[in-house]
Amino acid sequence: MALTVLYAAATGHVVGALALTGAAAPADPARLVGRALPLRVALGAGRTAVLPLNARDLAATAVDDEPALLTDPLAFGVELSADGRPGPAPARLAVWTGGGVRLAADGLTVTVPVAPTRPAPVVALVSDDQHTHVLAGEIPAEGDRVKLPLAVEPGGTHGVLTLVAGWAGRLERVTVT
């Protein structure tokens, strides 16, 4: 069995995995997911937010067999070599035991429990009634947070996907404070 993963090109987070027998998966993410890979978050009261990751923002690669990739892909990342090639061993990412994601009417604040030693790229998707907001930024070296500008209504509930390089991805329901 071979494992193929789809990962966010900007942060290296694995966002999906598939096990194949026989032929290898196509290297083009669009051939695997179409225009976008939909991630879903239950919002409560029978509502679900769909957060589509655009295929052009994804990459695909074959990796060493790691069964947990199939059940918890956001806990893993793909490490790139100096020449930009993905390595074969998926990396288990640090779990957020502190810090978090706070959504306010004027933006999304992402706080990690330990300040990175070098800038950490951040990508976040926030659901809204009709579309998804795609936010990008970085946590500076020796800093522990970034605020990404966004205007949302107070009190609303949104699905949020947060990817911070080096930390496990978070897919969760967040209420605007």
Please report, in tens digits, the pLDDT of each residue of the chain (177 residues total). Answer: 578 999 999 999 999 998 877 777 788 999 999 999 999 999 999 999 999 999 999 999 999 989 899 999 999 999 988 888 899 999 999 998 777 999 999 999 999 999 999 999 999 999 998 889 999 999 999 999 999 999 999 999 999 999 999 999 999 999 999
pTM of the model: 0.94
The Cα-based distances of 33 to 57, 58, 73, 118 in angstroms read 12, 10, 16, 32
Class of domain 100-175: mainly beta
User: How many other β-carbons are positioned within 10 Å of the β-carbon of residue 54?
Assistant: 15
* Closest to 170 in 3D by CA, of 111, 116, 87: 111
Map out the domains of the chain as residue ranges.
2-36+54-92, 100-175
- What the block records as the tokens of 33 is 């997911």
